[in-house]
């Protein structure tokens, strides 16, 4: 049954093509028009509110309409909004670059600004390739990426992605990427547990490197969490061993910290947990706290030096976007980074992560249709399954995650699913009461859905919930 549309919804559907959407779905479930945000809450045109448990696609760190960030943005807007970034610079960009170099692993001394996550990936891929071309390693023309990887939506980024939902239709346009089976701790082929394994699955990467290292310019990876694949989480040891392989086989190591950087995993950057330094680090999303598009690629002096020469040698890196290093975005990023320094944010994330884990394990740990609850830092995921013992997936065509998402919205909770995985990635300023609402509402919605679907009988005690 179709919902009656508001005037704004009608106008939206006349002209707006929404991202990551089958627009026909909007006939039955029209877009919710948001009028304002405050803290972890979004308010629609009818003043219904929704707890933003996904940080509006993983970008919001300190809440909507954060007074400190909003003031910094306003002040900058009345001074300088943007300037060309070739042969020009500005103080916010300089300060952000200095802070990023100080905060990231040792050796990442150069910062290249772009304007979104996919652009950052393109920059890193191009830089790595051009570096090898300019240092005599001209056979290195391919990249190695993991199965189930996601690195963005532009053609280069799609080429190193491994989620068919996003890149299958574009295969004729994509680069010839070497694929290695990635870690899957939920369905581990070695029957190991994340806390005790020795990352045996790294052998799949080494097999490809041993055969193709002379052709491979770089390996690209999402550290600790393959987010778009369903919040697939793996231990830091895998990263450590991957860094060793990159050194052994002389290929660059690109870490895509776009989704997990700036505290999401409980440390400022995910790769810190492995004690490693990559050759390239891609940052975006949380860099501006959810306010404006901005990304950055950090790399080493060694890479930079391969481009530094007289103009006539044509070794310059000429990648450029109009809004590279946008002044407003850099000023906001500067405020966000300063907040990390002044407000003890990492300790706050770790404490709230422990609280979220306790609530979630109590809520979901024994539900028969939950194969696993997993969490790193302040990122949690519920893997819904048909059979808890065998880990049999639920039928994708039923879109069960989507059905639960719609029901949760009616209860005031935004938990956009990844297939049949529901996840939490709330703003860091979420309160204990708001976190409990998030967990309790998710549990209630899951139980109600499965009761409708298959006649599940559930009491408030998980021990008395059965198919």
Task: Cite the annotated binding site for substrate by residue number.
Answer: 57, 150, 285, 320, 416
Nearest Cα neighbor of 284 from 56, 126, 59, 53 is 59
Tokens of 217: 């310019």
Determine which helix (DSSP H) or strand (DSSP E) holds 278, and give its type and residue range.
none
Bridge partner list, 42: 37, 50
| Dihedral over alpha carbons 93, 96, 97, 101 (to 10 degrees) | 180
Measure the CA–CA gap between 283 and 120, rounded to whole angstroms.
7
The answer to whether the beta carbons of residues 462 and 359 sit under 8 Å apart is no
String of DSSP letters for 122-173: HHHHHHHHHHHHHTT-TT--EEEEETT----SSHHHHHT---HHHHGGGGGG
Extract the annotated binding site.
57, 117-118, 150, 256, 285, 320-322, 416
The answer to whether the beta carbons of residues 297 and 127 sit under 8 Å apart is yes
The answer to whether the beta carbons of residues 4 and 12 sit under 8 Å apart is no
String of DSSP letters for 69-101: HHHHHHHHHTT------SS---HHHHHHHHHHH
Extract the annotated binding site for pyridoxal 5'-phosphate.
117-118, 256, 321-322
Determine which helix (DSSP H) or strand (DSSP E) holds 366, and give its type and residue range.
none
- CA–CA distance from 50 to each of 30, 219, 268, 286, 403 (Å)? 16, 39, 28, 21, 17
Bridge partner list, 414: 52
Bridge partner list, 37: 42
The answer to whether the beta carbons of residues 336 and 69 sit under 8 Å apart is yes
Nearest Cα neighbor of 422 from 378, 461, 383 is 383
Tokens of 209: 């490197």
Q: What is the DSSP letter of 313?
A: G
Grouping H, G, I as helix, E, B as strand and the rest as coil, residue 52 is strand
């Amino acid at each position: 049954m179709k919902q009656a549309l508001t005037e704004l919804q009608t106008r939206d559907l006349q002209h707006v093509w929404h991202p990551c959407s089958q627009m026909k779905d909007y006939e039955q479930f029209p877009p919710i028009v948001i009028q304002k945000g405050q803290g972890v809450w979004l308010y629609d045109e009818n003043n219904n509110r929704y707890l933003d448990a996904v940080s509006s696609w993983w970008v919001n760190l300190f809440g909507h309409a954060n007074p400190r960030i909003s003031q910094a943005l306003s002040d900058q807007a009345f001074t300088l909004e943007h300037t060309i970034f070739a042969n020009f610079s500005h103080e916010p960009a300089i300060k952000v670059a200095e802070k990023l170099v100080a905060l990231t692993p040792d050796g990442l001394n150069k910062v290249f600004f772009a304007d979104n996550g996919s652009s950052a990936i393109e920059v890193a891929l191009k830089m790595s390739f051009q570096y090898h071309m300019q240092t005599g390693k001209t056979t290195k023309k391919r990249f190695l990426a993991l199965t189930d990887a996601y690195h963005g939506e532009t053609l280069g980024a799609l080429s190193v992605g491994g989620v068919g939902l996003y890149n299958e239709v574009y295969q004729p346009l994509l680069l010839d990427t070497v694929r290695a089976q990635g870690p899957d701790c939920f369905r581990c082929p070695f029957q190991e547990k994340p806390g005790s394994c020795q990352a045996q699955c790294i052998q799949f990467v080494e097999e490809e490197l041993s055969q193709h290292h002379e052709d491979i310019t770089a390996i690209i990876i999402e550290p600790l969490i393959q987010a778009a694949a369903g919040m697939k989480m793996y231990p830091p040891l895998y990263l450590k061993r991957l860094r060793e392989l990159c050194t052994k086989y002389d290929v660059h190591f690109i870490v895509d910290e776009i989704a997990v950087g700036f505290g999401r995993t409980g440390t400022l950057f995910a790769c810190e947990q492995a004690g490693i330094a990559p050759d390239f680090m891609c940052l975006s999303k949380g860099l501006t706290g959810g306010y404006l598009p901005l990304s950055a690629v950090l790399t080493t002096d060694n890479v930079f030096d391969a481009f530094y020469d007289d103009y006539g040698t044509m070794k310059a890196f000429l990648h450029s976007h109009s809004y590279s290093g946008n002044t407003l975005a850099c000023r906001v990023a500067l405020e966000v980074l300063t907040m990390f320094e002044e407000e003890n944010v990492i300790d706050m994330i770790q404490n709230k992560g422990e609280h979220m884990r306790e609530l979630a394990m109590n809520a979901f740990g024994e539900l028969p249709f939950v194969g696993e609850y997993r969490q790193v830092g302040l990122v949690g995921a519920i893997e819904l399954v048909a059979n808890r013992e065998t880990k049999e997936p639920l039928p994708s065509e039923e879109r069960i995650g989507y059905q639960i998402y719609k029901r949760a919205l009616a209860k005031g909770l935004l938990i956009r699913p990844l297939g049949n995985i529901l996840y939490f990635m709330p703003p860091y300023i979420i309160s204990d009461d708001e976190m409990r609402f998030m967990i309790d509402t998710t549990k209630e919605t899951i139980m109600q859905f499965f009761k409708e679907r298959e006649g599940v009988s559930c009491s408030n005690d998980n021990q008395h919930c059965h198919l």
